[in-house]
Each structure stands twice: as structure tokens, then as C-alpha cells.
Amino acid sequence: MSHENASLVSDILTKVNDYTWEVPGNFKPGMNVPGRIFVSKPLLDILEAETIDQVANVASLPGIQKYSMAMPDAHLGYGFPIGGVAAFDKHTGVISPGGVGFDINCGVRMIRSDLSEADVRPKLAELLDALFDAIPSGVGSKSRIRVNDKELDDIFIHGVRWAVDNGYGVEADISHCESNGTMPGANPSSVSVKARKRGRPQIGTLGSGNHFLEVQYVDKVYDEDAARVFGLKEGQVTFMIHCGSRGAGHQICTDHLQVLSQASKKYRIDLPDKQLACAPAESEEAQDYFKAMVCAANYAWVNRQVIMHWAREVFDNFFQAEHGELGLDLVYDVAHNVAKLEKHIIDGNEREVYVHRKGATRAFPAGHPEVPEDYRAIGQPVIIPGSMGTASYVLKGSPAAMELTFGSACHGAGRVMSRKSAKHELRGEEIQKKLKSQGIIVKATQPSLIAEEAPEVYKSSSDVVDVVHNLGIATKVARVLPMGVVKG
């Protein structure tokens, strides 16, 4: 960002505290609430002015509650900023695909192990080769399994339960997924033939872009009690899986955006940006989209579950271990791009709202009924991945999140360079060599993918996590560092 642009951003916003900046309610005509952007001053200085515009635009949508919000990783997105959070009243608000994104339930899960860094480091290259061979990745990648229409319906409706019942995982995996890996209310008849066709061959595929499977080790523990409950300790090897609903979710979003673009006109909703296409939450159009979105969310949980199952098999075979011997237990799985009907306290009263989290994740506190029972005394694990060469973090949800952000935190580091610019300015082979010199091995289907996702195209994950921690939205439990990365 230029100095002039940084000054413009500072002039627009009102400082609430060191990590909270307000977009005044009169910044743009039609705003129903102010905006709130949760960033430090250094992160504010690299925030695009266009992202502030998007925060203000979202604030103009009907039925929005309290604030239009942007997390510390916020950057320009489709309609809503990526890192955007907004809650809309169940009766007077709207549902908008732009507040969810095209990759519905893009999310991340973390798996712990009983292996140490010393066990894995000498064999890391061979282990990554085995993972790369076992898990289909890249644009248009096809699964090792095929499902028929009946099975696809079951996946849309039952989510992770389908995967476990069909041998892809164990019962304990279910309780360690957000929403137990299954959102209610799916309606497969709201999913088009084209979306189904795209979804059938892609279950258990990593995809491309910022999706990854990363082998890591726990470098630092900040909260001994929480780490013990989550099963984490220093020197331990873990791995993360980051992907979403693939072609099915993208097509579902595309299909329903067309319908909701017309619905916005039908219901006379004055949109500051056509990318904010929406409909009243109780309307047939909005509910039809929501039921299809739930199908995609459940599909995404199955996708990550199947990938995890195959990765477990690779680890077991590679280390010649019996099933369960390596302690490859799911720590948690969080959704990044989804809208959920939730109960929140607003102005002293409990209300039902559709919370849209786009590039943002839940951060529910200790005692919340949706936190897994074995974690409930501590709070929900909040997983914030880094960017290939940088640290990832595990945090725990906090009561402050319920007060400040409708129980939400950021989902990653956030881009500062577009994919197009990254491919133009960076060379994947050079990034790969640089990371190797730092002890990080990267495998990808093509070098350009490494350039697109180089550490320098993202904000510092540590800076972003510090904002979340210092605000008390979620507090740090452990830091993990990358050893090897498989990219699509």
C-alpha cells in the first residue's frame, strides 16, 4: 500500500483501541450500522481502501446487527471482504452468498500424532512423496472413489457420519468436527445437476490454490493446560489439511447467485454492490440457497475426512505401524466459509441470527454447548494456519469473542498480493529452493502454484494471531512450524 493510501485509510477510520478501528455509520449513504475492523496499526497500514468500502457496503444490508466486521486477516473479496463477519436477524435480515464465498466450508483440520520431529525429519522427503501419491491434488483432480447419486445425497445430508459409516475414519472424529461435521437442513434437490456432476468425482481431493496438506511440529506451547486437553506438546509432529467443497460448492454458489441477483430486485433491496446479491432470510430464494449451501458444507467435511483417512493410512504404512498405534487423532476441524443460524445476546436479549463468516472461523468459549464435551472446560480449538513457510497457531475460544465478534476469529494470514501478481513477480522454483534451505520441503503439481502461495504474498500469521490474542477473541495455546507441504 502506498503512503497516500495508508493515510487515506487512517483518515477514514476512528480508533476505538489499539486493535479496533471503526468505520463511521455515515461513511457511506445507506449504512445501517458502523463497521468494525480488528487490526493492529501495522496491519492497518497495509489494508486496502477497497476493503473498507466492502465493510461499509455490507453494513447497508437489511437486518444487519451491531456491526459489519473484518478480522485482522481481512482483504478484498467478492462482495464481502475475505475475513468478513456479519450477523443478520432471522426475520428481518438477509442471506447473501457473498458472505459465504464460492468455496463453501473451505476449512482446516489438525491431526496430532505420537511421533516426534526426530522420528520424521530424516524421512520427510519420502513421507511427502507418499502423501503426494496417495492424495489427489491440483485443478480438476479426481478422487480414488466414485459415488452414485444416492451416495452423493447421503453425503449432502449426513456429512462426516457418511464417511465414518463407510470406513473413512472413526467415531471419535465426528465429535471433533465443528457441528459434528454435519449441518442440519440440507436439501439435495436445491443442488443443480451441474453441481452434482462436478461433485461426484472430487470427494477426497485436495484441489489447488491455497489448499494444502502440511506436516508440522509443535514448536512452542503457550497454555499448558489447554495444550494438554487438546493433546499437544512441544516437539510433537502434527499435520493440517486445508480444503473445501471443490467444484460442487463453487457451482452451488454460482447457481444461486444468479437466482439471488434477481431476488434482490424482486424484493427491492438497494444494493451498493451487485456482488452483495441477497434475499430476505425467510424468502424461498434465500432458504433454497441456504439448504444447498448446507449440502456443500457437509460435502466439504466429508472431503477433509476422506483425505485425513488416506493420510493416516500413509503414516501407518510408512512407519510400519498398526492402526491407532501412532496416535493420529483429530484435534479439531473448523469451517471458514459458511453461514449459520445461531443464538447470540444482542442488546441484552437472545436473538437468532444468520452469522455469515467468510474467511473467518468460530471461536466459541468454554461452556458453550457446541464445544466438544472433552474440550468444553477449555473452549473450542481455533486453528489459524500460516502460509507454507510460516507458523500456524492453535488457540482457544474466549468469552470476548461472543461480545465482540459473534463468536468469530480470523482464518489465516490474509493475502497482500494477488495470485496474478505473485505469478508475475515470483518464481516457484526459487521459492521452493529457499524454503528447502530453511528445512521446509514443498511438493506441488506445478511451480506456479508455489509462487502463488509463497510466504511473502501473505501477511505475517504471527502479527494476525497477536491481534486475535490481544483482543481476547481467542488466546494462544500452541505454535506449530512447517516441515513439509503438499500443494494442489
Say what the pLDDT of residue 144 is. 84
The Cα–Cα gap between 227 and 378 comes to: 10
Mean pLDDT in residue range 343-352: 97
Residue 53 has a pLDDT of: 96
Joined grid coordinates for residue 308? 485425513
pLDDT band at 224 (very low <50, low <70, confident <90, very high): very high
Taking CA atoms, 140 is separated from 238, 410, 488, in Å, by 28, 28, 10
DSSP 8-state class, residue 415: B
In the block, cell 476512528 appears at 14
Give me the pLDDT at residue 5, please: 55
- pLDDT of 4 higher than 60: no
The predicted pLDDT at position 6 comes to 58
Residue at 240: amino acid letter:
M
Task: Compute the C-alpha angle 447/245/152, nearest 5°.
Answer: 130
pTM of the model: 0.95
- Residue 411 appears among annotated catalytic residues: yes
User: Per-residue pLDDT for 392 more than 60?
Assistant: yes
Write down the catalytic residue from 323, 411, 424, 469.
Answer: 411
**Predicted confidence band of residue 1 (pLDDT cuts 50, 70, 90):** very low
Strand partners, 85: 69, 357
Please, which pLDDT band fits residue 30 given cuts at 50, 70 and 90? very high
CA dihedral of 219, 222, 227, 232, whole degrees rounded to 10: 0
Is the confidence at residue 140, as pLDDT, over 80? Answer: no
Give the 3-state DSSP-derived string for 49-80, with helices as H, strands as E and coil as C: HHHHHHHHHHCCCCCECCCEEEEEEEECCCCC
Q: What is the Cα–Cα distance from 85 to 339, expressed in whole angstroms?
A: 10
Choice between 38 and 139, residue whose per-residue pLDDT is larger: 38
* Class of domain 3-416+458-487 (CATH, top level): alpha beta
Higher pLDDT, 299 or 45: 299
- pLDDT for the residue 137: 81
Instruction: Tell whether the model's pLDDT for residue 2 goes beyond 50.
Output: no
71-106 residue pLDDT tens: 999 999 999 999 999 999 999 999 999 999 999 999
Q: Look up residue 429 and give its amino acid.
A: E
Domain positions in the chain are: 3-416+458-487
